Amino acid sequence: MNKITPKIEEVIYKVLMLASTAVVLSILFLILATVIWRGLPALNLAMLTQTPKGGYYLGQEGGILNAIVGSLYLAGGATMLAIVLSLPIALYLQVYIPHTRQAEWVRLAMDVLWGVPSIVYGAFGFIILIWLGMRASLLGGIIALAFLELPIMVRGMDEAIAMVPPALKETSYALGANKYETALKVILRQTAPGLLTAVLLAFGRGIGDAASVLFTAGYTDRLPNSLFRPAASLPLAVFFQLNTPYPAVQERAYASALILTFIILVLSLITRQLTTRLTTHIIR
Amino acid sequence: MEIVNSHIKIQDLNVWYRNDQALKNVSSDIPANKITAVIGPSGCGKTTLLKCLNRLHEEDEDVRVAGQVWLNGVNIYSRDVDVNEVRTRIGMLAPKPFPLPMSIYENVAYGRRIHGLNAVLNKGNGRNLDRYIERYLRTAGLWDEVKDRLGSPAARLSTGQQQRLCLARALAVEPEAMLCDEPTSALDPISAQRIEELLKSLKEKTTIVLVTHLLRQARRLADHVIFLWMGELIESGPACQIFKDPQDERTRAYLAGDIG
Amino acid sequence: MGESIAAVIQRKRKNKNRLAQQSMGWLTLAAVMLVPTIIAALFVRAWPILCSKPLGELLFSTTWHPMKNSFGFYAFIMGTLWVTGLAMIISVPPSVLTAIYLAEYSSTRTRSLVKTFIDILAGIPSVIFGVWGVLTIVPFIRNYFAPAVDRWLGGIPLFQNNNPTGYGLLAGGFVLAVMVFPIIISLAEEVISAVPQGLRDASLTLGATRWQTIRRVVMRRAWLGVIASIMLGFSRAFGETMAIMMVAGNVPQIPYSIFDPVYPLTALIANNYGEMMSIPLYDSALLTGALILLIIILVFNLLSRLAIVRLVQRD
């Protein structure tokens, strides 16, 4: 009779666990379904190919090409800048100072940076812009986003490089290569898919963030044509359109949200495919 | 060969790991209150066979088991048999000791606690449980070394002490049989010897099935021997017979050290 | 002749290596100094208000009238704490249960499928969560949930519905909870899976059920890591801006009911960024808000790091 209770306990918890998992998954599907259901009707070619014309925010013609291109430039520029900064840091951690106290401190700093809210990065970027005498601009947004992406990328690259079997590094050193050469010729090649995944992950974060570009990139209805002029971004486009009192514009906000979600989903898919495809060629 | 007093009867056991067959049509009797050594080269299926006896393979989704294992006339694989009941009656000792993340006392009390037995004991004056713990720690030869630090974490013990603790813990649920999977492989020679002595003293009350790759250990301890080769049972019988006069060529070669 | 060419090559290789090492080293140092730099920059810009107003007033006053030079952050700090706290209460039990299910019960195929979906959830931008909140959660609270709860539990102030808009603490807390799910689940699952199988076997071979093993053995070993994952989720929720701004109601008052509107710190900063420069001390005030936000998050992050370090030391 004492055996019944553990069994019943197990069944109860199993039900709770399955229910929790089901709830989490169904919320995901609910979110996607809501965005598609409300966004699809308002989606048309004009949304994707035109910039807002006069009166757009009052319900008239145009599209959000400014925001789509703006986001791509912002996230693209930020990601490139972040790569230039992150790759050396990750390589330094794994090749020059592996297993040292310093490396642990650096990783701690990266983890702390990872936790900094994006609005703080926006505020910081804003302070820098003022200090440099610049206004809200594409460049400002790129800088703020790069700071946001940096810890994500460094962590991802760090983990990717950590997966290289130490024997591979030792072989390189045994052949007389120094650390710089080993890093460049052996490690980069071996970890390329992992590094790419880290880049794509950071890019996805950059394209979806609003709080950091709010202060620093500003907003504009024009396509981005200069680093020193403001640039639009998709998340802000969604937000601003949603806040107008015109239902037609709000509908367009949902369509913009759908476009953003679509881009993110495609990005996730590509990342997954790349990881599985390229890992088949890796030495284990 | 007639086994007197068979405790566990293995019948037509087949085990697949993913698509590879690890055990093929293994049938044997395990005599009661004796030490049965399962020997053979590495990869021959010794541990696989052992884990069939307490249905431990069910925790691994890649493993499929077919066949019957009879304990006291009941097939432990039949639908209405509770797997936890089986594991209470047939205990196990692993190659690497895994003390539970608790104190020494709680480790030994764990088995009874999860079966709700400790509550009964503690009704009186709570000292009853203490006496049980002491008894099992004594049986495992660990009492004197830990009696003044029963509350300290079990992880602080040495490896040899940890293995003895695991033995005490397993014995505390009073199993009919003990499955020992290379129980001394992680231990220094002195601790290993102590474990061997403990096993010898246990066999009067408990049937012991011992998997070992150390032939000398088998010779020291075994009353009965089962020889496995590539998943098949080649030969089995009383230890003196197998060791002195093996029937099969492969057994002979393995015992001589020519293979495996 | 041949030798000197070889020597030149060797020298060049050595120099390249040294140059690389030094530049990478300096870059790494700069990155590490980024956190103190951000704190310093915020501090410098917040200084005008920090030196003109006592810290106690800034932190604990509820009066927020920028035009009358009144900057009390208390309502906003409370708003952030309430909404984050509610988000954690809602998200922790299902997240931990899901993580345990994935780590202990699900088949390998199910696990990787579900983890894929969890990763997708993690990648969804916060503004999308905001849109979803506005389209689904807020109307639900406004039209069904709040009236129902008010009818049945309205006697308790916590559940009174004095705010018929649907935007408020509960909406914010729920949306934040959903955003936090994938963070807790993925880290907790990793930590639980890392518990060695031998430990589980040790418990199972004594006749324990799977759940007993999880509760008494696996979780005992993994609990610090699970706590760390919860703290990670907390810091994410604490710093969230976009989604919470869209559903929280943004009225600077301390909430007494779950349906009351709140105005978290992040929303305050984001909403008023436009007017920052037009009112004296407003920019300093908002950046002080950012500084407060950052410091709280840093403290939490460091605490959770310490927990992980302790866990590693135990093994």
Q: DSSP readout, A162-221?
A: HTS-HHHHHHHHHTT--HHHIIIIIIHHHHHHHHHHHHHHHHHHHHH--HHHHHHT---S
Instruction: Provide the shortest C-alpha distance from residue A205 to chain C (in Å).
Output: 7
Spatial distance between the Cα atoms of A236 and A231, rounded to a whole number of angstroms: 10
Is A138 found in the same domain as A121?
Answer: yes
Percent of chain A with pLDDT over 90: 52
Residues A33 and A55 in one domain: no
Do residue A119 and residue C126 have CB atoms under 8 angstroms apart?
Answer: no
- Locate C249 and state its tokens: 């109601």
3-state DSSP call for residue C155? coil
Contacts of A4 in chain B (CB under 8 A): none
What is the overall mean pLDDT for chain B? 89
Answer for the pair B95, B183: CB distance below 8 angstroms, yes or no: yes
A4 touches chain B (CB under 8 A): no
Domain harbouring A66, CATH code: 1.10.3720.10
Once rounded to an integer, what is the mean pLDDT over residues B166-175?
Answer: 93
- Asked if residue B148 lies in contact with residue B178, where contact means CB atoms within 8 angstroms, the answer is no
- Considering the domain architecture, whether residues C190 and C304 belong to the same structural domain is answered as yes
- Does residue A87 share a domain with residue A16? no
Shared-domain flag, residues A104 and A23: no
Strands B63-71 and B224-229: unpaired
Among all residues of chain B, which has the CA nearest to that of C211?
Answer: B114
Percent over 70 (pLDDT), chain B: 94
Whichever domain contains C280, its CATH number is: 1.10.3720.10
Asked whether A81 and A146 are in contact (CB, 8 A), the reply is yes
Ranges of residues in chain C with a pLDDT under 50 are none
Measured over all CA atoms, what is the biggest interatomic distance in chain C, rounded to whole angstroms?
A: 98
Tell me: do A10 and A65 sit in the same domain: no
CATH topology of domain B6-98+177-256: Rossmann fold (3.40.50)
Instruction: For residue B4, name the pLDDT band (cuts at 50, 70, 90).
Output: low
DSSP, residue by residue, B86-119: HHHHEEEE-SS----SSBHHHHHHHHHHHTTHHH
- Which residues of C254-304 form beta strands (DSSP E)? none
Asked whether residue A282 carries a pLDDT value surpassing 60, the answer given is no
Domain count, chain C: 2
d(CA A7, nearest CA chain B) in Å: 10
How far apart are the C-alpha atoms of C282 and C66, rounded to whole Å? Answer: 6
Q: What is the pLDDT of residues A114-133, one digit of tens each?
A: 999 999 999 999 999 988 88
Mean pLDDT of A76-86: 95
Q: Which residue in A has a C-alpha nearest to residue C98's C-alpha?
A: A21
| Cα radius of gyration rounded to whole Å, chain A | 23
Q: Chains contacting B with at least 3 CB pairs below 8 Å?
A: A, C
User: Is the alpha carbon torsion for A158, A159, A165, A166 positive or negative?
Assistant: positive
Q: Looking at chain C, which subunits does it touch, using at least 3 CB pairs closer than 8 Å as the criterion?
A: A, B
pLDDT digits (tens, 9 = 90+) for B197-228: 999 999 888 999 999 999 999 999 999 999 99
Q: Based on the domain organization, do C22 and C142 belong to the same domain?
A: no
User: A116: which DSSP letter?
Assistant: S
pTM over 0.80: yes
**Distance, CA of A199 to CA of A83 (rounded, Å):** 7
Is pLDDT above 50 for A2? Answer: no
C159 and C278 in one domain? yes
- pLDDT at residue A284 above 60? no
In A, minimum Cα distance to B117 occurs at A2
Q: B216 is written with which tokens?
A: 């000398």
Domain holding C174, by residue range, is 73-314
Nearest C-alpha of chain B: how many angstroms from C235?
A: 29
Same domain, C82 and C131: yes
Q: How confident is the model at residue A279 (pLDDT cuts 50, 70, 90)?
A: low
The confidence score (pLDDT) of residue C217 equals 94
Contact (Cβ atoms closer than 8 angstroms) between residue A275 and residue A248:
no
Q: Residue A183 pLDDT > 90, yes or no?
A: no
Convert the pLDDT of each residue in A231-271 to its tens digit.
999 999 999 999 888 888 899 999 999 999 999 999 998 88
Yes or no, beta carbons of A111 and C132 under 8 Å apart: no
**In which band, very low, low, confident or very high, does the pLDDT at B121 lie, cut at 50, 70 and 90?**
low
Contact C42/A30, CB-based, under 8 Å? no
Of A85, A117, A242, the CB nearest to C131: A242
Q: Which of A7, A91, A117 sits opposite C297 (nearest CB)?
A: A117
The interface residues of chain C toward chain A in range 128-147, judged by CB-CB distance below 8 A, are 128-132, 134-136
Going by the DSSP 8-state scheme, the letter that residue B9 receives in this structure is E
In this structure, the answer to whether residues A70 and A13 fall within a common structural domain is no
The pLDDT-based confidence of A37 (bands split at 50, 70, 90) is very high
- Backbone dihedral angles phi then psi of residue B66, each to the nearest 5 degrees: -130, 140
Contact B84 A3 (CB under 8 A): yes
Tell me the two tokens of residue B25.
Answer: 């049509």
Number of Cβ within 10 Å of residue A7's Cβ equals 13
Residue numbers in A near B116 (CB within 8 A): 2, 5-6
Listed by number, the residues of chain C in 22-81 with a beta carbon closer than 8 Å to a beta carbon of chain A are 23-25, 27-28, 31-32, 34-35, 38, 41-42, 44-45
Q: Residues of B with CB below 8 A from A6's CB? A: 84, 114, 116
Give B64-82 pLDDT, tens digit per residue: 999 999 998 899 999 899 9
Helices (H), chain A: 4-39, 45-49, 65-91, 101-115, 118-132, 138-162, 166-174, 179-181, 188-208, 211-216, 234-242, 247-278
* Residue C162 one-letter amino acid: N
Instruction: Report the residue of B54, B110, B166 to disrupt the C interface, i.e. the one with the largest count of C CBs within 10 Å.
Output: B110
Looking at the structure of chain A, the number of domains it has is 2
Task: Residue count of chain C, please give it.
Answer: 315
C219 lies in some domain = yes
> Same domain for A160 and A187?
yes
A260 and A177 co-located in one domain: yes
- Rounded distance between C-alpha atoms, residue C157 and residue C162, angstroms: 10
The boundaries of the domain holding residue A25 are 4-39
Chain A to chain C Cβ contacts (< 8 Å): 234
* Burial (CB count within 10 angstroms: exposed 0-12, middle 13-18, buried 19+), residue A274: middle
Would you call B101 and C205 a contact, using CB atoms and an 8 Å cutoff?
Answer: no
Every domain of chain B and the residues it spans: 6-98+177-256
Same domain? A16 vs A79: no
pLDDT, residue B260, reads: 67
3-state DSSP assignment of residue B52: helix
Indicate if C246 and C131 belong to the same structural domain.
yes
Look at C206 and B59 and tell me if their CB atoms are within 8 Å: no
Distance from CA of C57 to the nearest CA of A (A): 23
- List residues in chain B touching C: CB distance below 8 A: 54, 56, 59, 61, 84-88, 91-92, 94, 96, 98-102, 110-111, 114-115, 155, 166, 169-170, 173
> Which 8-state DSSP code applies to residue C240?
-
Helix (H) or strand (E) holding C226: helix C219-238
pLDDT score at A165: 84
- Does the residue C67 lie in any domain? no
Question: Which one-letter DSSP state was computed for residue A137?
Answer: -
Q: B80 touching A, CB under 8 A?
A: no
Whether residues C13 and C87 fall in one domain: no
CB contact under 8 Å between A113 and C35, yes or no, is: yes
